Amino acid sequence: MTTRPNQSDGTSVAPSASGHSAGGPSPTGQDEPADPEPKPRIYLDLIDEDEAWGAVPDREMLIRAAVAAVATHPASALTLLSFLTDARPVATDAEAVVVLTTDDEVAALNHQFRGKLGPTNVLSFPAPSPPPGANASASAIASASASARAGAETGPTLALGDIVLAAETVFREAREMATKVEHHLQHLVVHGLLHLLDYDHLTAEDADAMERLETDILAALDVPDPYAGSEPEAMSPVAATRVETP
């Protein structure tokens, strides 16, 4: 994987408890009262490295909304809080890297880390990210950079890991499922981020629990249930793969 420039502005994607952007004005134009129990945020580093993603002009807004939905859903927010309090030192917020790339890039990662040929729609690399010197190390470098920057601004920040999406496969799947590519993108980002929070679908029971959580989060984004009419299936082909790295 080629070295990627860090294109993120490092802003928070988690809204306040009222649903407005954190730190932003209320509809009346007045500052909102401080939340007595501030909710943890997930900062986003978005690395957009392939022009094919230009077919989704609102991709950054869609991804940020998906990340915010995971950060604020009661179930996944509780898991996030557990991650932060278990960190040493205890972290106040988290950060994740989302890489928008090509089938070829994802196929190389799929072969390197999973021994499988060909691309998949999305891969999740929970922290620690791929080690320096590996083909996938660019996302790790971006992750470390984001963490250092965010930590300087907000206090200790926990790196959750990296989510890497393959343009051609994501677009093809959306066509085959007769769904909007915007909806499929948000679904995969939600699914990939849940993998970074240690959710998985190795068994039918785990898949059912994860699908129900995804569906609930997506409903808040006005995204239709992507699993409607299907039975929970372990290692669903239309799902992110969680990749453990050394």
In which band, very low, low, confident or very high, does the pLDDT at 39 lie, cut at 50, 70 and 90? confident
> How much is the pTM?
0.74
Residue 90's pLDDT is 84
Task: State residue 162's pLDDT score.
Answer: 96
Domain assignment present for 29: no
> In this structure, is residue 24 part of a structural domain?
no
CA distance 46 to 66: 13
Structure tokens at 79: 């898991």
- Contacts of residue 100, Cβ cutoff 8 Å, sequence gap at least 6: 46, 47, 48, 49, 50, 53, 59, 165, 167
Residue 170 placed within a domain: yes
- pLDDT for residue 139: 44
Asked whether the predicted pLDDT for residue 115 surpasses 50, the reply is yes
Q: How does pLDDT run across 84-95, given as a tens digit for each residue?
A: 998 878 889 999
| Residue 22 within any structural domain of the chain | no
In a domain, 13, yes or no: no
Q: How confident is the model at residue 116 (pLDDT cuts 50, 70, 90)?
A: very high
pLDDT band at 118 (very low <50, low <70, confident <90, very high): very high
Q: What pLDDT, on a 0 to 100 scale, did the predictor assign at position 23?
A: 36
CATH code, 139: 3.40.390.30
- Give the pLDDT band of residue 21 (cuts 50, 70, 90): very low
* pLDDT tens profile 65-78: 999 999 999 999 99
Q: What pairing do the DSSP bridges indicate for beta strands 122-126 and 241-242? A: parallel
Could you tell me if residue 235 is inside a domain? Answer: yes
Number of separate domains in the chain: 1
Q: Which domain holds residue 97?
A: 42-242
Using H for helix, E for strand and C for coil, what is the string for the chain? CCCCCCCCCCCECCECCCCCECCCCCCCCCCCCCCCCCCCCEEEEEEECCHHHHHCCCHHHHHHHHHHHHHHCHHHHHHHHHHHHHCCCCCCEEEEEEEEECHHHHHHHHHHHHCCCCCCCEEEEECCCCCCCCCCHHHHHHHHHHHHHHHHHHCCEEEEEEEEEEHHHHHHHHHHCCCCHHHHHHHHHHHHHHHHCCCCCCCHHHHHHHHHHHHHHHHHCCCCCCCCCCCCCCCCCCCCEECCCC
User: 108-134: buried (b, 16+ CB within 10 Å) or exposed (e) per residue?
Assistant: bbbebbeeeeebbbbbbbbbebbeeeb
Greater confidence (15 vs 175) lies with 175
Predicted confidence (pLDDT) per residue in 170-214, tens digit:
999 999 999 999 999 999 999 999 999 999 988 889 999 999 999
pLDDT in tens, 136-161: 334 443 444 444 444 445 568 899 99
Q: What is the mean pLDDT of the chain?
A: 77
For residues 149 and 83, the model is more confident at 83
In a domain, 78, yes or no: yes
Residue 133 covered by a domain: yes
